[in-house]
Structure 1
Amino acid sequence: MHTIWKGSISFGLVNIPVKLHAATENKDVKLRQLHKECHSPINYKKVCPVCDREVKSEEIVKAYEYAKNKFVVLDEEDLEELRKENEEKAVEIIEFVKLEEIDPIYFEKSYFLSPDTGGLKAYALLRQALKESGKIGVAKITIRSKEQLAVVRVYEDTLLMETIYFPDEVRNAKDVPNIPSDEKVVQKELETALMLIDQLTVKFEPEKYHDEYRTALLELIEQKKAGETVTAAEKNPAIPPDMTDLMSALEASLNKTKKNNVALFNFLIDV
């Protein structure tokens, strides 16, 4: 597993040398853009619209736009000095909290932490302490010149660090338009919705979920490579689009779920 960062976890006077590894990966199928006529990949150039010419990397500077078309240019030397001042190679645990106190909206990206040379004993100590206390550590870390808030917790038998958003990076839910405030809910509709939720409630098993679009896209690519005839797959029957009555839609969903459960039960008996 590729190491993307080396440093240490510190809490109190304890210091644990660690390595950081990405815990997740993006498996999106990346498609290139080609010229339709000759199938050559399309290239992109950085062009200055005023000078009307391509700009080389060494001619580009960074700037902050504080008003429309008004910029403060930042020298690379200033940025580098700022990075050095803030880039301590440490995950500093500030305090400990309960995981359920943090809303999932705050979570950003996950990283595995592995012990580096000389860190096995302290790593195992922190892992066991987190397990027995039922707490997670709230920490700060600087990754790629950006200070991040993070939490350190135990995942299976490994310490996991998850970067989380700062509070001012999470937009205010009150700014979301058209949210009903005191919309009256019909009791019968609520009871039916609760029955539907109850019938669809299962134990979470992540391994049973798959990216069906990615699978279909890869199959399509393989068929195209092999020169096969491509046929569209049949869609699953859905609730008729003209069913605008909420109660009817709920009952239809409930009936569909019951039929699926009966079919599954009969299948299991046959097996």
Structure 2
Amino acid sequence: MHTMWKGSISFGLVNIPIKLHTATEDKDIKLRTLHKKCHSPVKYEKVCSNCEEELKPEDIVKAYEYTKGKYVVLEDEELENLRKENEEKAVEIIDFVKMSEIDPIYYNRSYFMSPNEGGGKAYSLLRKALQETEKVGLAKIIIRAKEQLAIIRVYDNTLVMETIHYPDEVRKAADVPSVPAEDKVTDKELETAKMLIDQLTTDFEPEKYNDEYRTALLELIESKRTGKEIVTAKEKDPVANVTDLMAALQASIDRTKPEKAEKPKKESAKRKRVATKAKKEA
């Protein structure tokens, strides 16, 4: 597993040399952009909006736009010195909290932590202490020139670092438009909704779920690549146009009931005509 960061975590006088490894991976299918006429890849060049000149890396500087059209230019050396100054600080667990107190909206990215040379015992100590107290460590760390707030917890006997957003990075729920201030539902509607939830409640098994769009896209790509005929996936049953809330809840419950085995359908007349035509042409 690739190491993307090396450093140390400390709590109190205990120092743990560790390595970070990305815990998740993006499996999105990346599509290239081609020129429709000749199918050549399209280049995206950096061009000055004023001079209309194509720019090289050495012609570009970083800047902060503090007001429309006005910038503060930051030199690479200044940014590098600032980054080194912060990276030299110890990554210290500043607090221990209950994980249930952190809303999932704060979570950002996950990293596996492994002990570096000589850190095995301290690693095991922190892992055991977190398990016994049912707490998570709250720490700060510099990753890719950005100071991150993070929690350290145990996952499958491995320490995991979860970077989390700062409070000012999470937008206020009160600013979301059109959210009803009060629950205007009847007791019967609520009971029916709870019945539907109970009917759909199950244990969380991640293996049950997959990215159906990515699977279908890969099948389409492979079918085109090999020149095979592309088949159309079976369409889902149309959703009834139900406007009444009770009727919608009841329809949802009915759709979750086990379906009876269907008898095999007879071959359609259209398929027979296609087969007959193919035999004649052969």
Q: Shared fold (TM-score greater than 0.5)?
A: yes
How far apart in 2 are the matches of 1:256 and 1:153?
Answer: 40
Aligned to 1:207: 207
Question: Secondary structure of 1:162's match?
Answer: strand
Aligned to 1:148: 148
- Report percent identity of matched pairs: 66
Task: Give the partner amino acid of 2:178.
Answer: N
Deviations 1:118-162 (A, max 9, x none): 011111111111111100000000011100000000001100000
Question: Secondary structure of 2:258's match?
Answer: helix
| Structure 1 residue 90 displacement after superposition | 4.2
1:57-136 equivalent positions in 2, closer than 5 A: 57-88=57-88, 90-136=90-136
How far apart in 1 are the matches of 2:227 and 2:40?
Answer: 20
Question: Secondary structure of 2:257's match?
Answer: helix
How far apart in 2 are the matches of 1:230 and 1:91?
Answer: 54
How far apart in 1 are the matches of 2:89 and 2:250?
Answer: 57
How far apart in 2 are the matches of 1:248 and 1:53?
Answer: 63
Assess if the C-alpha contact under 8 Å between 1:196 and 1:254 holds in 2. yes
**Rg larger in structure:** 2
How far apart in 1 are the matches of 2:147 and 2:48?
Answer: 32
**CA-atom RMSD, angstroms?**
1.3
Change (3 A) 1:232 1:90: farther
Task: Give the partner amino acid of 2:244.
Answer: D
How far apart in 2 are the matches of 1:100 and 1:87?
Answer: 30
4+ long deviations beyond 4 Å: none
Aligned to 1:268: none
Aligned to 1:252: 251
Deviations 1:26-46 (A, max 9, x none): 000111111111111111000
| Structure 1 residue 75 displacement after superposition | 1.4
How far apart in 1 are the matches of 2:132 and 2:258?
Answer: 45
Task: Give the partner amino acid of 1:22.
Answer: T
Structure 2 gap ranges (5+): 262-282
Task: Give the partner amino acid of 2:248.
Answer: A
How far apart in 1 are the matches of 2:80 and 2:40?
Answer: 39
How far apart in 1 are the matches of 2:169 and 2:63?
Answer: 21
Task: Give the partner amino acid of 1:152.
Answer: I
| Structure 1 residue 229 displacement after superposition | 1.6
How far apart in 2 are the matches of 1:31 and 1:132?
Answer: 47
Question: Secondary structure of 1:230's match?
Answer: coil
Structure 1 gap ranges (5+): 264-271
TM-score (norm 1): 0.93
Question: Secondary structure of 2:19's match?
Answer: strand
How far apart in 2 are the matches of 1:62 and 1:95?
Answer: 35
Deviations 1:172-204 (A, max 9, x none): 111111111024112211111110000000011
Task: Give the partner amino acid of 1:196.
Answer: L
Deviations 1:87-114 (A, max 9, x none): 1374310010011000000000000000
Change (3 A) 1:29 1:89: farther
How far apart in 1 are the matches of 2:90 and 2:243?
Answer: 56
How far apart in 1 are the matches of 2:221 and 2:106?
Answer: 37
Aligned to 1:269: none
Question: Secondary structure of 1:48's match?
Answer: coil
TM-score (norm 2): 0.90
